[in-house]
Structure 1
Amino acid sequence: MSTETEVGTAPTALDDGTPGSTIPDTRARPQDRTTAAPTAPPRPAAPARPAAPTAPAQPGPRTNWLVPLLVLVVGMFMSVLDISIVNVAISTMQNDFGATTDQIQWVSTSYSLAEGVIVPASAWLGARLGLGRTYTFAMVGFAIFSAFCGLAWDINSMIAFRILQAIPGGVIPVVALSMLYKIVPRKSMGAAMGIYGLGIVFAPAIGPTLGGYLVEYVDWRLIFFINVPVAVLGVIGAVFLLPRFRPEPGTKFDLPGFLAIAVGLFSLLLALSEGPKWGWTSYPTLILLTLGVLSLALFVVVELEVDQPMLDVRVFGTWAFSNSLILISIVSVGLFGVLFYIPVYLQQFQNMGAFDTGLLLLPQALVMAVIMPVAGQIYDRIGAKWPAAIGLTIVALTTWDLAGLTPDTPHGKLELILAVRAAGIGLAMMPIMTGGLSALPSDRSSMGSAFNTVVQRASSAIGLAAMTALMTVQQAQESADRSGLMSSSGSASSSASGASASSGGSSAGSAMLEQYQAYQHLQSQVFITGLNDLLIATAILTACAVPLALMLRGGKPPAEDGPRVIEG
């Protein structure tokens, strides 16, 4: 049986069909149907007998939202952690499977593409099956396919299992965020999102440390097997601790809208992922980009026409929500771009191992773990505007400072900059997200959650692909310029090296070694110069987001709670 309760209020005396109804019980009771004779003196009123219950009493609303929230954090943490932790094991998997560079990249690319397709359908799936059931099924599926990834025997099986793993992995964040907005009172939303954000931001930051240890000292397959016990605990918690939400069996599946957005996101992600290899002006890249843009435009048209849209694009009519999505995109691009390229810089040009690299990046993860709950408390007191603006300013300044990397940058300095930068991200991220979602009506929170997840996933993947493309162009130009200088200087010494070669083979070998060392130095300088240019561009982009952050709502958020629809 289903009951409708509002978090933080007493159970209603009578359910009149309206969520959270508190209408007093005025139904006629049997003793009221017989009236006394007109001549009889009035008798003292007898105590009213309670109406016979029509169903077993249901539990009151859940005022303790922290325990269900922690269950959601487990699932969110696991699904996001898997994205960053796999990057550490890519080279080891390539050696074990004997795969080429192009083949091994599909371990990550296939996951992003499959997730981009399934995320738009997650809101419908949660409504059709019920959010709690969908979350539980997704956790079970993620555990099963994670185990399959750990058992993969070649590169093709790994790619196939990663695609299957991405299906529940894309459902978990959408459903979890939708449940959060139905469990937590609005007056506590900032604190709740601060805790929930540990799965969104802290998981990618801790991924290199955990993955580096498993890859270097244990076995890379454990990065997948570790999901199984975590998922088992999450499923047990979901079954016993999460409230059950009523499904909406009448919800129709918007097939035209799903196909349009799935084709659009798939085409854009594939074009940006393979563009550096195919060439940005090649026919496959241009066709995919055109198809992606046209499909997304068609998706908007379809969603405005159908009665039950898969994702209601009308939520973009709320500027506070649209603004928050723009800011989330900018933060996600900077976060995942730095998390991808800094480990490459440390391992390839400072000769650090995977675990040592993870340890150097650990302080920023710890800072985020501390700052994000605090940022949630700040949001509950002063709103989203100032935490977001101050946080983005910190991110812009520290990213600009980070753009001075050299092959000999001290590790202590790098740790400090990354930790302060992480504090800015932790301060800004959750107030931005919470402020945007809180601006939507409660009946559109699921749609907002779905769009939020789509934007986070798509912006991080598209942003990383765009940053890689920019790096490729910068490196090619820098390499051409420096090679020209080297060739001009090398021609002057070629006659001398030729003369010394006639005097003995050792001199020729020494000359070849010098040329190799010069080439290695050239590649190092080209990569670091390109990375610094990329960081400068990221800093400028983040600085441009500060005025948008100042448009967010300030002041203490409204304390009234929306209805919470929970199954009994």
Structure 2
Amino acid sequence: MTESKFLNPRTVIRMVYVAAMFLVAMDATIVNVALLSICEELQISPAAAGTVNIGYLVSVALVLPMAGWLGDRFGGKRMLMIAVTLFTVASVCCGFASSLGGLIFFRILQGIGGGLIAPVGMAMLFRAFPPQERANISRSLILPIAVAPAVGPIVSGFFVEQLTWRWCFYINIPIGIIAIILGMIWLKESGKQAVGKLDLPGFLLSAPGFAMLIYALSQGTAHGWRSPEIVLTGLTGLIFLAALVFVELRTTQPMLQLRLFADRLYRTTGMIALCTAAGLLGMLYIFPLMYQDVFKASALHTGLTTFPEALGLMAASQLMPWTARKLGPRRIIQIALLCAMVVFALLCLVSEDTNPWLVRGLLLSGGLTLGHTVGAIQLLAFARIEPPQMGQAATLFQVQNRLGSALGVALLGSLLAAVSAATADAAAVGAASEATSRVAYQAALLGAAGFLAVAWGFSLTLRERDTAGVQYKKPAVSSAPKEKASVSV
């Protein structure tokens, strides 16, 4: 009896990874719109409610560096199922939380699960699919990357207006249960990777280092970059990370395999991914704020206006296999980043009189171009990585993306605040004040385009021979019976 396509282990790992990452990506944005409602029900200040997200971000940063080692040591399937289960159970507890302390605690548990899901799942997925087949799986990978963050604010706005903020967490339950059932029954565990003992010095340096740096970047704009709390936390985090580099390069079996950066292709694509994440997440942070603050749009209307960006990313995922074969990933990255810079610059010209459909068209174009960029980067970054190193490579890649996202939001938020303060004295009341506020948002959007310009500069260093061994061909159609897939996860 032949194995059905649904039961194919490669199909199952793709479905489980997409479902799990959809949860994590949506959770990163769904809570933001609900914070005010949480404040009202729990009777806390907006400043205190911010710790709900801080706890999540810091806990992700704590576990992310050791995710690759855990997956290799205990098995990808086991760690992924533990992570998804923890995330789902914590979501239930968040929905039932009756105090700020309880909500923060369960959000920390969510962050631990979320920090493990991305690198462990990505390593499993890229071990299952060889480089020449990864262009075809980009269609499903774009779902958690693009759609989930865009859906989050819309779903949150609906729940807050029609039901309660607690449904922002309850919605994770059915998706999580489906992922757990699929993984437990059909996902295959074909063995652990050969790894040594936990690199304790590396963990003791990386966990607080990344956590403190992420905290400083995420809270610098709110507390002020010169505040003792931010300065001390940020500098201490950087010292820990500097020591981490020194220690890991002298360890035979490090927790973070920094020697992977010796491969020029992996190093270059990692920097492109970091800068692209900073620009994309920065834009998605700045533009909705401008639309609400300057143009006085509601949160739900703003979410619906920005949603075409996700549609563009989805369209890019469908076109990627074709464009990868026609142009190659190097040209895709260079052309797409250049077009995305133009789109971001045009977003600066949007005013309250701009046709909303023109705005949606620009965001659709931005998603289409950056979707190609993200897909091509993922294909190139792991093209030369051997299966035993995939867990370490995926962890480093996710760490860079996390830092890029935090860096983009932090620096663009600071630019927004700095330009607003610099022009505040010159602003009068009414229209002049509104125009001054718009200038600050325009400067921040140009900053997002600047991140893409840096990424484009890195892309110019890619050489033709870097991608010579990465082929993107249509799978050959054969009448011969298919062998049962063997997947190492």
Q: Distance in 2 between matches of 1:384 and 1:252?
A: 37
Choose which of 294, 312, 315 in structure 2 pairs with 1:370: 315
Aligned counterpart, 2:440: 530
Which range moves more in the overlay, 117-126 or 347-356? 347-356
Choose which of 104, 114, 119 in structure 1 pairs with 2:64: 119
Choose which of 263, 267, 270 in structure 2 pairs with 1:318: 263
Aligned pairs for 1:288-367 within 5 A:
288-367=233-312
Aligned counterpart, 2:152: 207
Aligned length: 472
Residues 300 and 187 (structure 1 numbering): CA distance in 2 closer, same or farther, change over 3 Å?
same
User: How far off its partner does 1:381 sit?
Assistant: 5.6
Aligned counterpart, 1:557: 470
- Contact 2:142 2:313 (8 Å CA) reproduced: no
Q: Distance in 2 between matches of 1:250 and 1:456?
A: 25
- Contact 1:264 1:296 (8 Å CA) reproduced: yes
Name the SS for the 2:253 alignment partner: coil
Aligned pairs for 1:497-516 within 5 A:
none
Residues 262 and 187 (structure 1 numbering): CA distance in 2 closer, same or farther, change over 3 Å?
same
- Contact 1:375 1:387 (8 Å CA) reproduced: no
Structure 1 position 478 matched with structure 2 position 423: yes
Choose which of 94, 99, 109 in structure 1 pairs with 2:54: 109
User: Normalising to structure 2: TM-score of the pair?
Assistant: 0.90
- Contact 2:61 2:210 (8 Å CA) reproduced: yes
Q: Distance in 2 between matches of 1:475 and 1:123?
A: 42
Aligned pairs for 1:28-107 within 5 A:
65-107=10-52
Q: Distance in 1 between matches of 2:285 and 2:223?
A: 22
Write the letter of the residue equivalent to 2:458.
L
Q: Distance in 2 between matches of 1:346 and 1:102?
A: 23
Q: Distance in 2 between matches of 1:89 and 1:341?
A: 18
Unpaired segments ≥5 residues, structure 1 = 1-57, 487-517
Write the letter of the residue equivalent to 1:358.
G
Name the SS for the 2:307 alignment partner: helix
Aligned counterpart, 1:543: 453
Q: Distance in 1 between matches of 2:292 and 2:235?
A: 37
Higher gyration radius (CA): 1
Deviations 1:247-269 (A, max 9, x none): 25863111110121112212212
Write the letter of the residue equivalent to 1:295.
F
User: How far off its partner does 1:418 sit?
Assistant: 0.7
Write the letter of the residue equivalent to 1:307.
T
Choose which of 255, 268, 287 in structure 1 pairs with 2:200: 255
Percent of aligned positions that are identical: 27
Residues 237 and 538 (structure 1 numbering): CA distance in 2 closer, same or farther, change over 3 Å?
same
- Contact 2:69 2:392 (8 Å CA) reproduced: no
Q: Distance in 2 between matches of 1:261 and 1:309?
A: 11
User: Normalising to structure 1: TM-score of the pair?
Assistant: 0.78
- Contact 1:210 1:358 (8 Å CA) reproduced: no
Aligned counterpart, 1:425: 370
Deviations 1:497-521 (A, max 9, x none): xxxxxxxxxxxxxxxxxxxxx36x5
Name the SS for the 1:257 alignment partner: helix
- Contact 1:188 1:380 (8 Å CA) reproduced: no
- Contact 2:212 2:236 (8 Å CA) reproduced: yes
User: How far off its partner does 1:451 sit?
Assistant: 0.8
Which range moves more in the overlay, 393-402 or 233-242? 233-242
User: How far off its partner does 1:564 sit?
Assistant: 6.7
Name the SS for the 1:481 alignment partner: coil
User: How far off its partner does 1:426 sit?
Assistant: 0.7
Q: Distance in 2 between matches of 1:440 and 1:391?
A: 25
Unpaired segments ≥5 residues, structure 2 = 474-484
User: How far off its partner does 1:216 sit?
Assistant: 2.2
User: How far off its partner does 1:453 sit?
Assistant: 0.9
Aligned counterpart, 2:112: 167
